[in-house]
Amino acid sequence: MTTNSLFPANGRRLVGWVAIVGALLGWINVGLYVAATGGDFSIVFKPAAFLALPATAHGYFCAAMVLDTLGFYLPFLLVGGYLWSLLRSAHGALIDIAALCIVIYVAMGVAGASIQFAALPPLAAMHAAGDAIAKVTSEGAWLAVASSAQHGLWLMEGPSMGFWALVMGRAIRAGGMPYGGLLMAVGVCYASVFVAYIVGLRQLGELIEIAFVILLPLWSLLIGSALLRQRAEGSTQ
């Protein structure tokens, strides 16, 4: 199979650029999150300490939430839709189910990031007001928001993204397209994090999370580059 037969031309350039930019924004998001928390991710669930962080740290955190939606979630509506249109005729209902899963993944991810982005500034301002009752109220509210987002919505991404990545990665490999194996590895990571948290192995889950926040943007970068490279080769020929 030649490179020019791997992907259809319609929408290829747009999807390629979206995948590449999304990958870069995803990695920047990780850097901002580390900067906001000082590398101690557990501080997000210690509301007294987290809300007392300087405004700069809160700004980094809010920026990370915005880039989270633009790096790890919204691009996959386009990438997932493109791959679905390419593979559905050969793989039928399974690809249709996977497409629904990626939509669910994006919806849960955007919701989790959005509620944290929206809740942090007013709760931080309330906490900084100095009133004891306001501090207690804001701390309780933030803990509820962060737990609901990160241990609720984001945790439930595991089954949906895991299913999409495993099914789509297998279909990509079967079609002779590149990086299907890497996408399947991403799917295993997402599913493993979900299982680890459910059975109480939180530290193991956190370690696996480090893997997929690196591997998912890497796959996005590689598949986007493949799409653009194919276009360039097609134009040359």
Structure confidence at residue 5 as a pLDDT band (50, 70, 90): very low
Q: How confident is the model at residue 53 (pLDDT cuts 50, 70, 90)?
A: very high
Dihedral pair phi/psi, residue 55, rounded to 5°: -60, -30
Q: Cβ(61)–Cβ(54) under 8 Å?
A: no
The domains of the chain are located at 3-236
Backbone angles phi, psi at 91, to 5 degrees: -120, -5
Q: Give mean pLDDT, residues 51-69.
A: 96
pLDDT of residue 235: 42
- Banded pLDDT at 229 (limits 50, 70, 90): confident
185 in Cβ contact with 213 (< 8 Å): no
pLDDT value of residue 8: 53
* pTM confidence score: 0.90
With 70 as the cut, is the pLDDT of residue 9 above it? no
Under the banding of pLDDT at 50, 70 and 90, the label for residue 236 is very low
Q: Model confidence at 131, in pLDDT bands (50, 70, 90)?
A: confident
**Distances from the Cα of 118 to the Cα of 38, 74, 109, 111, 131, angstroms:** 21, 18, 14, 10, 22
pLDDT tens-digit readout, 16-29: 999 999 999 999 99
pLDDT confidence of 10, banded at 50, 70, 90?
low
Output the pLDDT for position 175: 84
Mean predicted confidence (pLDDT) in 99-103: 96
Quickly list H helices, 38-74: 47-51, 55-68
User: What tens digit of pLDDT does each residue of 161-179 get?
Assistant: 999 999 999 999 988 889 9
